[in-house]
Chain A
Amino acid sequence: MRTAVITGGAAGLGADVARRLSESGYRVGIFDLGADRVAQTASELDNAVGIEADVTSPEQIAAAFEAFGETPDLLVNNAGIVRFGAMEAQSARRLHRRGQRQSAGELLLCARDRARHDGREARAISSTLRLSTAFTPPRGSDYTALQRQPWPT
Chain B
Amino acid sequence: MANMTQAMAIEWGPKGIRVNAIAPGMIDAGMSKPIFENPKVRAVRGGGVPLRALGEAADITEAVLFLDSEGAKYISGHELVVDGGVSTSVMAHLPRE
Contact = CB atoms under 8 A, between A and B. Distances in A.
Interface of A: 2, 4, 11-14, 16-17, 19-21, 24, 73-74, 76, 82, 102-103, 106-107, 110, 114, 117-118, 120-131, 133-134, 148-149, 151
Interface residues of B, number: 44
Contact of B17 (A12, A24, A125): A125
Interface string B62-75: 11110110001100
Contact of B87 (A24, A114, A117, A133): A133
Contact of A129 (B19, B33, B79, B86): B79
Contacts of A21: 61, 64-65
A33 to B, nearest CB: 14
Interface of B: 1-2, 4-5, 8, 12, 15-27, 29-33, 35-36, 45, 57-58, 60-65, 67-68, 72-73, 79, 81, 83, 86-87
Contacts of B83: 131, 133
Contacts of B25: 131, 133
Contacts of A24: 65
A148 B2 contact: yes
A21 B68 CA distance: 11
Contacts of B17: 114, 117, 122-125
Contacts of A122: 16-18, 73
